[in-house]
Structure 1
Amino acid sequence: MPGDTSIAETVPQNTSKVYDGTLEPEEIWWRDHQLWLQERGYQLRPRFSPGWIPSWKGTDKKWWECEDGLSPSIFRVLDAVRTSDGAMVSLKQISQSDHPYETEISMYLSSSQRGSDPRNHCVPVYEVLDVPDDPDMKLLVMPLLRPYDDPPLETVGEAVEFFRQIFEGLQFIHENHVAHRDCMNLNIMVDPKPLYPDMYHPHATDLKRDWSGFARHYTRTKEPTKYIFIDFGISRKYGAEEKSPREYPIWGGDKTVPEFHRSNDPCNPFPTDIYYLGNLIREDFLQSPRGVEFMEPLVSDMVQDDPSKRPTIDEVISRFAELRKSLSRRKLRSRLVDPEETKLLRFYRNTRHIFRTAYYIMARHSAVPTPKPVS
């Protein structure tokens, strides 16, 4: 990152309205429950303490220059620190009336019985808190995660490992008779702990936790990590005997599902999950040449208009394994190219990539960075 980039430039600006850094109306709930959460072992940032006085008041500083000036990007999800061990966690509000199955399904997939399966890429739920003054509300306590492509994937091998993990993760979900129904790119995250050994500020994610500078991070090749499915708000769980359930269409984040555009009739949600993952790869990796064009035949089948013609997740995994075998080490270590990079930037990145790859080879870092299973 250029040395003349200021910390203030990394802070996203709120352009939808005039914003002065003070609490948004949606943040009041968190402030009013701060003491209760503290009693339960979760410390919120100073911004949410009762009687909070903005640190920039009475100074020459601007709100965007101060740690406590940042509001959450999603108000129903807030970061916290678990006081027992200092771990950074996420607290998610769940309205039982709006999402009656989310807590149940999240806990089912996160149970100790299923958590030991290495194919389980579902977000773990550490605890479910009953909100004392709202019987309809629960809080899910989960790890703090980052978007799957932040920081960006850099090599074909890193992309191949991402594909492998999301395919086996969906296989695990489907084998447990659950349809995710919204497994698009925003609902697949990455475990940041291997990449960011000292972690980072949860709402200025390029910065250190204490706001003192930029957070250091590693590549996935140097420190392999795990990808994780989140948000089971519109998911459904079925009995083992229900081989082809039917559900009325429900729109998730991806608005391109062909069967939803054709009809409002009930349809099988499992092929729709296949479409979501295929479309993720199509939109994020294939629409502009980046180096993973070998995925095109498989992805084309995954996003077919006719759901009945899409492969099952078992078939996807089998075909992907054959594709993986066809890739040379040189191909796997090649760089994912950003189609928008300038010639000068491409020269810089190519040069850096050559030296970095030489180091990875000498240090025996695998071209396909698979994380070690948790013992």
Structure 2
Amino acid sequence: MNNPLIPEDRGEHEMFWVSLQPHLLSRGYKLRPRYDPEWTPSWTKPGGKHRGFYEDSLRGGAKLLDGIRISDNMKVVFKPVATSSDELALAILLSSPKARADTRNCAVPVLDVVDIPGNDERVLMVMPMLKEIFNVPFRRVGEVVEMLEQFLYCLQFLHENNIVHMDFCRYNLMMDGSRIIPKGWHFCNAYSHDGVSFASAFEWNDRWSVRPVQYYLIDFGLSRQLQDASTRVVGDWGQDRTVPEMSFEIPSDPFKVDVYQLGNAIKEYVAAYTGLRILDPLIENMTASDPVKRFTADQAVLYFQERKAKWSKRAMKSRIWKKGTPFKRRFMVKYRGENPITV
């Protein structure tokens, strides 16, 4: 039990995870100390410093929480989902041996499904802890091309199986960061290995030096598997509200919506970095305002393949920079080995 002399520091939403901690432990998963029912805040112990010095001061979220798979020390993420949801059904389908055998499938794999005691309506999906792609700078053209290629093939794979994601947007594009950041990163602090150290101490490798990098598509909460490719939908959906045909009255082609969303997500990177103009023609065709004129996933893949065949190794190795990066900082990165995480 919590010490009654210590003010409760955990939010109401965190107590859900506290209640599950013993069950998850019995299933082979360990949560951070903060979620132990017997937890005492480190900063309240004799000689304790400001709470900011302690990892257990970091709060988790209501929708997701990190943990460790005890058998191999793998970092994982837990997500509560409804047992009747399309999200769970699709996650299981896309994690099946048959689906994983297709190398185009980069949907995040579900490692386990854990029951919630006393609750028949929800379960916990267990997935690998991934890294947001925008939290680590791109350094070369080929790094962006590698990412785009994997997501294009994944889009094609999904559409071949009549699956529409409906939120193929920036915040759902992730990567395996294990080789990029060998020391790992904290779930609550993207630029810290342990959650409390400063970003200046954060060590990472650029993607080019550890390629290939595996990318993943997450969050199938709005996704569905359609009966056939002629199905149309209405409403607003996903993070990207710029989809031209989005409407509550006029049905839209959800496959073309996916294409637009991915194209627009990549467009953000082209706009944010120098040296990525070679992707402009593809992006223009993926984000055409008229969905009839917009590429299908197959057309996007074919166009990409044709363009890629003409790009030289030298072009792929060319450096790119976030726009506005000062010349001095570029020089220090290129010739002096500096590797700031924010540039």
TM over 0.5: yes
Cα distance in 2 between the residues matched to 1:352 and 1:264: 57
Match of 1:102 among 64, 84, 87: 87
Are 1:32 and 2:19 counterparts? yes
Local SS of the residue matching 1:56 = helix
Cα distance in 1 between the residues matched to 2:276 and 2:308: 11
1:259 — aligned with what?
245
Higher-strand-fraction structure:
2
2:265 — aligned with what?
280
1:65 — aligned with what?
53
Match of 2:290 among 306, 313, 325: 306
1:336 — aligned with what?
320
- C-alpha displacement at 1:346, in angstroms? 2.6
- C-alpha displacement at 1:352, in angstroms? 4.4
What's the % identity of the aligned pairs? 34
- 1:103-122 correspondence to structure 2 within 5 Å: 103-122=88-107
2:71 — aligned with what?
84
- C-alpha displacement at 1:322, in angstroms? 1.9
Cα distance in 2 between the residues matched to 1:167 and 1:284: 16
Unaligned runs of 5+ in 2: 1-6
Match of 2:183 among 198, 217, 227: 198
On the 8 A contact 1:21/1:64 being kept in 2, the answer is: no
Deviations 1:11-51 (A, max 9, x none): xxxxxxxxx99212211100111111111111000000002
On the 8 A contact 1:21/1:63 being kept in 2, the answer is: no
2:231 — aligned with what?
245
- C-alpha displacement at 1:96, in angstroms? 4.3
* Counterparts in 2 of 1:210 and 1:284: CA distance versus 1, 3 Å: closer
On the 8 A contact 2:236/2:248 being kept in 1, the answer is: no
Unaligned runs of 5+ in 1: 1-19, 357-375
Local SS of the residue matching 2:207 = coil
Moved more, 335-344 or 171-180: 335-344
Local SS of the residue matching 1:138 = strand
Match of 2:147 among 162, 166, 171: 162
Local SS of the residue matching 2:67 = strand
- Runs of 4 or more consecutive aligned structure 1 residues displaced over 6 Å after TM superposition: none
- C-alpha displacement at 1:351, in angstroms? 2.7
* TM-score, normalised relative to structure 1: 0.82
Local SS of the residue matching 2:25 = helix
- C-alpha displacement at 1:190, in angstroms? 0.3
Cα distance in 1 between the residues matched to 2:28 and 2:236: 37
Local SS of the residue matching 2:44 = coil
Deviations 1:195-246 (A, max 9, x none): 223323222233334867845332211212100000000101023xx12211
